[in-house]
C-alpha cells in the first residue's frame, strides 16, 4: 500500500538511515501498533495517524511562536 502513514515513515527513515535500519524501525513500529490494538481491543484505523499529525503540527506551531516571542519577534498568523 502506498501513501500510508507507515510507508511514509519507512521512506523517511530509509532516506536518513538506510534500508536495513528502516525495515527494523518499521517492524518495531508495527509491533507497537499491534500491541496497543490488542491491549485496548481496538481496530486499526489509519485516520488516527492523521489526527495525531494535526495535533503535533499545532503543538509545533505553538512552540515556534512562543520561541519567537521569547526572542522578541512579533508573530502574526497568516491565512
Instruction: Calculate the CA dihedral of residues 26, 27, 33, 37 and round it to 10 degrees.
Output: 150
Helices 47-70 and 5-17, interaxial angle, to 10°?
Answer: 50
Question: What is the reported pLDDT for 52?
Answer: 85
Q: Answer whether 0.85 is exceeded by the pTM.
A: no
**Residue % of the chain over a pLDDT of 70:** 99
Q: How far is CA 5 from CA 11, 12, 21, 40, 73, in A?
A: 10, 11, 17, 21, 35
- Pull the grid cell for residue 2: 502506498
pLDDT tens, residue by residue, 21-38: 999 999 999 999 999 999
Amino acid at each position: 500500500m502506498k501513501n500510508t502513514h507507515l510507508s511514509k515513515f519507512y521512506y523517511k527513515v530509509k532516506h536518513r538511515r538506510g534500508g536495513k535500519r528502516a525495515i527494523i524501525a518499521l517492524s518495531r513500529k508495527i509491533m507497537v501498533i499491534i500491541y496497543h490494538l490488542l491491549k485496548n481491543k481496538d481496530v486499526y484505523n489509519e485516520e488516527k495517524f492523521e489526527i495525531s499529525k494535526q495535533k503535533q503540527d499545532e503543538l509545533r506551531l505553538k512552540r515556534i511562536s512562543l520561541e519567537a516571542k521569547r526572542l522578541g519577534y512579533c508573530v502574526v498568523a497568516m491565512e
